[in-house]
Amino acid sequence: MLIILGVLTGILGFLPLFLSLRLSRRSTSTQALTVGLYGLAGVAISLVVLIAGLLACAMLARDGLVSFVIAEGVVFLGSTIVYFVYKNALAKRKRVE
């Protein structure tokens, strides 16, 4: 059960990062500061979500904390890596062909 909650927390932790990246790509501002603040806000909110899930698990079920953290970290990092590889490598190949 804690592994499933870790997976859900990892996905919820990725969503703010995903939304901030989408907003920064659609921004019409030419200032790098505006685009950078979108990314920084997304990272900060993602970390808050991940830490909140970690603290909740530590308070409620300390015996399963390791499995929760591993599931949370693997899903968060995995989804981030897959998204960036898709957007930067695979999407560019589709445009070239």
Encode pLDDT of 22-69 as tens digits. Answer: 887 777 766 777 778 888 888 899 999 999 999 999 998 888 889 999
Count up the domains in the chain and report the number: 1
pTM: 0.78
Given this model, what pLDDT does residue 1 score?
82
Kindly report the length of the chain: 97
- Examine residue 68 and state whether it is found in any structural domain, yes or no: yes
- Examine residue 2 and state whether it is found in any structural domain, yes or no: no
- Examine residue 59 and state whether it is found in any structural domain, yes or no: yes
- Examine residue 3 and state whether it is found in any structural domain, yes or no: no
CB 21 within 8 A of CB 42: yes
Q: How many C-beta atoms lie closer than 10 Å to residue 23's C-beta?
A: 15
CA distance between the termini of the chain: 45
Percent of the chain whose predicted confidence (pLDDT) is above 70? 90
Range of the domain at 36: 9-92
Q: Which residues make Cβ contacts (< 8 Å) with residue 19, sequence separation at least 6?
A: 42
Distance CA 91, CA 9 (A): 27
CB 43 within 8 A of CB 6: no
User: Quick one: pLDDT band at residue 74, thresholds 50, 70, 90?
Assistant: very high
